[in-house]
Amino acid sequence: MVSGLSTLEMTPPLNAARETKSLDTMTTAPVRTATAIHIDDVSVSFPTGRKGCRTVLENISLDIEEGEFVVLLGETGCGKSTLLRLILGQDRPTSGRISVAGSLVQRVDARSSYVPQKYSLFPDRTVLENLAMGPETSKYHILGRLLPSFRAFRRQVREEALRQLSHMGLQASDAAKYPHQLSGGMQQRVAIAQALMMKSRVLLMDEAFSALDPATRSNLQRLLRTVWGETKPTVVFVTHNTAEALILGTRVIVLARQSREDHCGSRVALDMKLPASGMSLRNNGQQFLDLVEHVERFSRGDHHAPSADLDAANGPYESPNAFPSNGETL
């Protein structure tokens, strides 16, 4: 089954490409200037009612570079959201460690911003108040708001909030509205703006578009890609939608369980580079469909799936060692 193809048709064109490898065939990646997120041999286990434990993540080690758009992909229950919460600092690993911007993650802090699946706006505050709350409370505590400097800072924050609203395709008049007066897509636009207001270099998004209708989802995919292209934050985006992962990411990481046994957690089944400009069914055609199927084999736990390559000029292509037919024709 090809996931999420109904959201593809309006996606921007493919202009460039990067190398794609499975973990089994990866070569050393080019050295970049800085590592935004370092995940070192992380495992997560939870106690069960049978005096045992269930392992969710097992020996995960990853380096995510500054400015990458990484999509965590996998079936329900594979630990994608758990890993995101570990990076955020909301949860702690059973073993291993995670660093963001060179410092160990021990709690939620300003290094990372977060956009959840469910709408996260405060219902009793206007859109403008929701956007301003994060910067205002992080810089000034209650008594600090009595200082003369707070007024000037507050004015700057609210001017920035209006700019972010415009950037998200919303009107200045929307600033005075309450969340219940907005559509689901508008609320998620505000939630993204809310995260960007914190000026964090890492943006974490957990199934942020999954509750939206296909047209709204496609619009927000394009919007997010545009915002990322302009400001280049490090994005970690969780989804179970393979097509969405290929549209958005410059890198796709598939998590999959090695076994259904409780002691076996999810590991990195595939770590694949993608074109920096994105991919789409419209612009890549059958090559895109082939790559969707290739990635979904790993999501399903087929760890013997063949590797796929990207041609810098033409996008995905069938290399001599990629996509062996096994009797079928792609």
209 touches 221 (CB < 8 A): yes
On the 0-12 / 13-18 / 19+ scale of CB atoms within 10 A, 152 is exposed
Please list the pLDDT of the chain residue by residue as tens digits (330 residues): 444 444 433 333 333 333 334 334 333 444 445 999 999 999 999 888 777 788 999 999 999 999 999 999 999 889 999 999 999 999 999 999 999 999 999 999 889 999 998 777 999 999 999 999 999 988 888 777 788 888 899 999 999 999 999 989 999 999 999 999 999 999 999 999 999 999 999 999 999 998 889 999 999 999 999 999 998 999 999 999 999 999 999 999 999 987 777 668 899 999 999 988 888 888 888 889 999 999 999 988 765 555 555 543 344 433 233 323 232 222
Question: What does the alpha-carbon distance between residue 301 and residue 269 come to, in Å, rounded to a whole number?
Answer: 8
The count of other CB atoms within 10 Å of the CB of residue 113 is 21
DSSP code per residue over 269-330: EEEEE--TT---HHHHHHHHHHHHHHHHHHHTT-TTPPP-EEETTTEEE--TTSS--TT---
This prediction's pTM: 0.79
Going from N- to C-terminal start, the domains of the chain cover: 123-199
